[in-house]
Amino acid sequence: MTKEYDLLVIGGGSGGLAHAQRAAEYGARAAVIEYGPLGGTCVNVGCVPKKVMWYAAETRHHMDHAADYGFGIDVHGHDWASLKARRDAYVTRLNGIYENNLDRRGVEHIAGAGHFVDPHTLAVGDEHYRADRIVIATGGRPMVPDIPGAEYGIVSDDFFTLEERPQRILIAGSGYVAVELGGVFNALGSDVNMVVRKDGVVRSFDAMLGEEVMQAMSDSGIRIDTLVIPAQLEKHDNGLFMSSEDGRRFGPVDCVLWAIGREPNSDTLALDAAGVKTDDEGFIPVDMFQQTNVEHIFAIGDVTGAQALTPVAIAAGRRLADRIYGKMEGRYLDYRLIPTVIFSHPPMGTVGMTEARARAEHGDTVKVYQSRFTPMYYALGEKKLPSVMKLITAGDDERIVGCHVIGDGADEMMQGFAVAIRMGATKKDFDDTVAIHPTSAEEFVTMR
């Protein structure tokens, strides 16, 4: 017998859970199909456990400056296993919280992998489930290069299973994962070598951020080799060796981490049975209302190829539920002006256009304001870590179209500035805002 619902969601990650729970609050009979622990990438092998590791790395950085403030601290190594046990226990608690949240809202959790049987029906094992509407929220997974020996490396999911910290690590990649995990390994005592395909890191961000974080990483002891295209990975008695297409050889190392991008979890869904189209990479195209080419089937989050950020998936899922079940006609997620942070050391945050894009779109009306300074935190010591900020304005009214920062506290300050910029703030609005002193954030409202 086929069980029927108003809504079936494939994927129990951040976006799928947010949509199902919001829909249930409006009275929809909803169920979530998930084969793994609830919470998806973010909770289990992404944002949450990553941030725990970032805090550990930050703690180590603060120890470096303890003497500046009169503390005598002797650091006797780092207990990776203890940190992992505490982190994993925290994630397990979160899994339980997500399960309880579904129960409280009357959303059924169907454990297993789902796939389409027809446009309205999903199969999980031998059971069939039917719904008026179906939402695909299956996320993505780390990519592995198609080269000989690639299987000797690990991906970001595997990072969270490491029982010991590798002393020597090679990281291939230049985006969020490479930069963040490279910083963690470095701070906790590993020798880190990063190899990137182009001439820098986080190249989709404003050039200033990429240049500054690359310099900060180099200054911290991370070796960065550019224009490296992996060709082969070999395993020998003394470690792993990676060769590049131009003949360079890297190693020996104890671990190679592939951080070269992510691909969608769409290949096991039998989308053809529902008539749902994908692009050449397997992502599911959607319109502004998250609708696929099939009227009653929607997709949200990383599987769509849109900005692969947890809050984006959550926002898209909730707005979709608001529109369909909450009678908020026309409600959708505007993907412009999405703020984001990379938890590097120091962290960096951004919202809006890069300088290059602003000049291409707004031409000679663009004006850029930039400030570089040493935060007060470093005033008493010899080791300094600069902060750099940039405001990009356009038009006669100098509306702010881009806001970028790298430095201590960037992760926390960016949220408030993102609100202002989304509301259409101008440079004058910033100038007329009284500064909070002494802070780093005040530079945004005092720069000239």
| Residues annotated as part of the active site | 437
DSSP 423: T
Nearest to 407, CA basis, from 354, 443, 382, 448: 443
First and final C-alpha spacing in the chain: 69
- CA distances to 113, 140, 284, 426 from 277, rounded to whole Å, are 20, 17, 6, 42
Tokens 């291939």 -> residue: 172
- CA distances to 95, 197, 246, 285, 447 from 231, rounded to whole Å, are 39, 12, 9, 32, 47
- The C-alpha atoms of residue 122 and residue 270 are separated, in whole angstroms, by 10
Number of H helices, E strands in the chain: 11, 21
- The C-alpha atoms of residue 390 and residue 441 are separated, in whole angstroms, by 12
- The C-alpha atoms of residue 386 and residue 196 are separated, in whole angstroms, by 24
- The C-alpha atoms of residue 351 and residue 422 are separated, in whole angstroms, by 9
Name, in order, each residue with C-beta under 8 angstroms of 263's C-beta and a sequence gap of 6 or more.
140, 141, 143, 281, 282
Name, in order, each residue with C-beta under 8 angstroms of 178's C-beta and a sequence gap of 6 or more.
171, 172, 194, 196, 201, 257, 259
